[in-house]
Amino acid sequence: MYKKALPLLALAVSIILYRYYAADTVQLENNSVAKIRDLEKIKPSEKLDHVNTSTIKTEAKVPKIEKSSQAIIQIKSTKLSYEDNWCIPLEDLSEKDKKLAKIDSQAWYLKQGLALSYDNSIQRDNYPLNNSYIEAYQEMDSKELLTLADNNDVLAMTMILQKYNDFDSVKSKEIAKKLIVMDATALSLQTLVIEELVTAEHNLKYNKKVTGEVKKRLIDALVYVSYGLERLDTSALANYLRLTKELPFFQGEFHPSNILDNDDVDIIAAELSKLKYTIDKERAKNYLDPISEVDIPKIATHTFNTDLAQLYSQYDIEITMMPILKKITNNRMKKNSCINHQIEFYNELKRFQR
Could you tell me the mean pLDDT of each successive run of 10 residues in the chain, 354 residues long? 53 46 36 28 30 30 41 68 92 93 92 79 48 88 96 94 89 96 95 96 94 96 97 95 93 92 94 97 95 94 95 93 88 92 88 71
R_g (Cα) of the chain, nearest Å:
20
Would 153 be classed as within a structural domain? yes
Residue range(s) defining the domain that contains residue 324: 3-77+90-353
Q: Which residue type is seen at 195? A: E
Q: Say how far apart CA 119 and CA 44 lie, in whole Å.
A: 11
Would 84 be classed as within a structural domain? no
E strands within 33-169?
none
Would 291 be classed as within a structural domain? yes
pLDDT at 77 (0 to 100): 66
Would 332 be classed as within a structural domain? yes
Would 304 be classed as within a structural domain? yes
Q: Say how far apart CA 77 and CA 94 lie, in whole Å.
A: 10
Which residues in 263-286 are b (16+ Cβ under 10 Å) and which e? ebeebbeebbeebbeebbebbeee
Would 82 be classed as within a structural domain? no
User: How many domains would you assign to the chain?
Assistant: 1
Would 319 be classed as within a structural domain? yes
pLDDT at 349 (0 to 100): 81
Find out whether 249 and 205 touch, Cβ atoms under 8 Å. Answer: yes
Residues in the chain, total: 354
Angle at 280 (CA atoms; ends 275, 282), nearest 5 degrees:
95
pLDDT at 74 (0 to 100): 63
SS3 56: coil
Would 85 be classed as within a structural domain? no
